[in-house]
Structures are given as structure tokens and as C-alpha cells.
Amino acid sequence: MNPTTSFVIISLLKIVGIVFLVILPMVSYAVYAERKVSALIQDRLGPNRVGPAGLFQPIADAMKFLLKEDFTPAHVNKFYYWLAPCLAMVPAITTIAVVPFGSTLFGVPMVIADINVGVLFVFAIASLGVYGIVIAGWASNSKYPFLGGVRSGSQMISYELSLGLAVVPIFLLIGNLRLTEVVRYQIDHGWMVFPFAGDWKNPAGWLLAVPMWISFAVFAIAVFAETNRLPFDLPEAETELVGGYHTEYSSMKFALFFLGEYAAMITGSAIIVTLFLGGWHFPGVPDGSHGWIFGLINIFVFFAKIAALLFIFIWVRFTLPRFRYDQLMRLGWVFFFEIALVNIFLAAAIITFFDR
């Protein structure tokens, strides 16, 4: 077998394995987790009818979505109406291509596309997700979806800035956009949120923790806004906009929006994990070159970290109320943008002064 064929086959295996066997089940179980955790937080029991502790609920939900009537209202723009759900789902899944979800397994690097623009690709594709929502709002030809789409567009622009600026300190420090290199650096020098790890006596590490934590906070909050999660779920605010941008959608088209939101959450968490929380690295666990079992453990660690972040997503959603729209804009433009900007200079000063 020539190298090109084997590369294609291995890549396809990785795509199928990661997207269909890990991400999509994770998406459906994120919905279950959302319902269960929200129920427990609100002193309810949550889904407990389908299977033990309601564990087969996602299957029942999927069946329900597939069997519902797929209704297209007469007043919509058909082409864009059909296009929008795809645009909501595809970018969320595509982003995972550059994220290293494990070290190596049988000598094969566990990343679908190890490209050198790494995080730029992530931002480029992730911001396409807003088109799904804006087009859905426009094509629905109805006031609530329209308002939802407009809100989504302006929210996305406001938070994309701080999202991009928040990661600049990391790349100042590493000098490489490739996400596998980011993980490699974190293994050698401690996770980004603990830059002092392994080098406790060096004050540079401790000082560097300040801009890194600010970056982490700003980035995490911006990801909340990017994925339309509470407290930033203005585009679909049920109490104000009926259902927001997906008011006019039914059946599987609605499900695609719904699952796209969760897929975006998972990829957002994956980016946070890769950039700040050490990717697939867990202290004391060697990488996949020491045996396939460690390779599997690395993959497991990566997804465990994502699951922990998903719990925080859900936990925040059922704690904080929604922002008012002007508060949201104020927060994005007046606080996070400035904080992220100043943070770059802070990090640059520390890096220059201590010559890391």
C-alpha cells in the first residue's frame, strides 16, 4: 500500500471514529446530561423512564425527532430555510479536525489534520456557525426568528474579538499556532493555567499565571457567548423571542440546530482544554509511544476534561439569569475587549522581561 492510500484510509478511520463514535454520542448524551443535571440542581429527578436512570432517553429523543412531521411553512425562503440547519451543525463538527484528542495510538498521531495554522482554522470555521443562525432568522420570514438572528450576529461580532485577543498571550509564549505544539509545550512547561508547574522557584512562572488566568477567564466566557449558552442565550431567549431563530423549525431540522448547539459546546470545550488545560496530558501518564494502553488513556483523559467542562456549562446555565441586551454588549465591548487587550501587553512584558 502506498503512503497516500494508507494516509487517506487512516484519516477516514479517525474521522469516522472521532465524529461518529465519540462526538455524536457525546452530543446526544450532553442533552441527557443537561436534563439530568438541571433536574438535580432544581431538586427534580429528570428523565428516569427510558432504561436504567433514563440512560436510553437520547435514543427515544432521536426516534421522536425523526418521526415528527417535517413542516415547512409557506412563507419561508425555501433554499435558505433548508440550508441554515446544515450551516449550524457543520462548522461545530468541522472544528474538531485540528484538535489533538490524544497522543498516538499504534504510532498514528491522534489528530485528524495537524495543520500549522491550527487555532486560526478553529476561529475561521467556528465563526461560520453564526451564518446558520443568521440565515435561519432571515429565511424564516417572521419577526421572532429575525430578531434572534440579528441578536446572534451582533453578539458574535462582539465576543469574537475578545475570543481572538484572549489567546494571543499563549501564542506569544509558544511562538507556534499548531495545536499539537501547544499541547507539547504544556507537557514540558506545565499547563497554561499552571505555568509555574515543574519550575516552582522561578518567579516568571508565577507572574505568567496572572495573564494566563485572565486569558482563560475571558476565553471561557467568550466561548459561552459564542455557543449561545446562558447567560448569553439572547438569540433564542424563550421568554422574549418564543424560540428565537428556530421558532419556525420542526422535526429533524430543529434537532440539527439543537444538536449543533451542543456540538459547538463540545468543540468549544475541546479548544479550551487544548489551549489552557493541557490537552490530553495528565500528570504522570506517559504518551502513546510507551504502549497503546497509554494512548487510550490519553484519549480518555481528553474527553474526561471535556465532560468536566460540559458540566460547568450546564451548571452555569442553571445558575445565572440571562443578561439584558445592553448589558451583554457593554460587557463584551467595554470590559472583555479592553481586558483582553491589556492582557496581551501584560503577557508580552512578562515574557520579554524574563526572557522565557
Partner 1 sequence: MAITVPRPKLTWFERLYLPAIVAGMAITLQHFKNMLLGRTKVTMQYPEQKWDAQLPEHYRGAPALVKDEAGRIRCVACQLCEFICPPRAIKIEPGEIPVKDRFSKVEKYPREFDIDMIRCIFCGMCEEVCPEQAIFLRKDYAITGLTRAEMVHNKEKLLEIGGIMHGVVLKWNEKK
Q: Cβ of residue 53: shortest distance to partner 1, in angstroms?
A: 12
Q: How far apart are CA 348 and CA 324, in angstroms?
A: 35
Q: How far apart are CA 181 and CA 160, in angstroms?
A: 24
Amino acid at 181: E
Amino acid at 140: S
Nearer to partner 1, 188 or 326 (CB): 326
Nearer to partner 1, 38 or 251 (CB): 38
Q: Cβ of residue 314: shortest distance to partner 1, in angstroms?
A: 10
Interface ranges with partner 1 (CB under 8 A): 37, 40-45, 315-316, 318-320
Q: Cβ of residue 43: shortest distance to partner 1, in angstroms?
A: 5
Q: Cβ of residue 40: shortest distance to partner 1, in angstroms?
A: 4
Q: Cβ of residue 102: shortest distance to partner 1, in angstroms?
A: 30
Q: How far apart are CA 142 and CA 148, in angstroms?
A: 10
Q: How far apart are CA 61 and CA 65, in angstroms?
A: 6
Nearer to partner 1, 44 or 78 (CB): 44
Nearer to partner 1, 215 or 274 (CB): 215
Nearer to partner 1, 66 or 308 (CB): 308
- Residue 54: C-alpha distances to residues 22, 31, 63, 266 (Å): 20, 12, 15, 22
Nearer to partner 1, 143 or 330 (CB): 330
Q: Cβ of residue 12: shortest distance to partner 1, in angstroms?
A: 41
Q: Cβ of residue 41: shortest distance to partner 1, in angstroms?
A: 5
Per the CB < 8 A criterion, the answer to whether 312 and 33 are in contact is no
Cell of 37: 443535571
Classify burial at 324, counting beta carbons within 10 Å of its beta carbon; exposed 0-12, middle 13-18, buried 19 or more: exposed
Phi (first) and psi of residue 167, to 5 degrees: -90, -10
Cell of 252: 429533524
- Give the relative orientation of helices 118-126 and 251-276 as an angle to the nearest 10 degrees: 150
Nearer to partner 1, 43 or 355 (CB): 43
Q: Cβ of residue 312: shortest distance to partner 1, in angstroms?
A: 9
Element (H, E) at 296: helix 292-317
Q: What secondary structure does DSSP assign to 24-77, as a single string? A: HHHHHHHHHHHHHHHHHHTT---S-SSSGGGTTHHHHHHHHHHHS-----TTS-
Nearer to partner 1, 319 or 352 (CB): 319
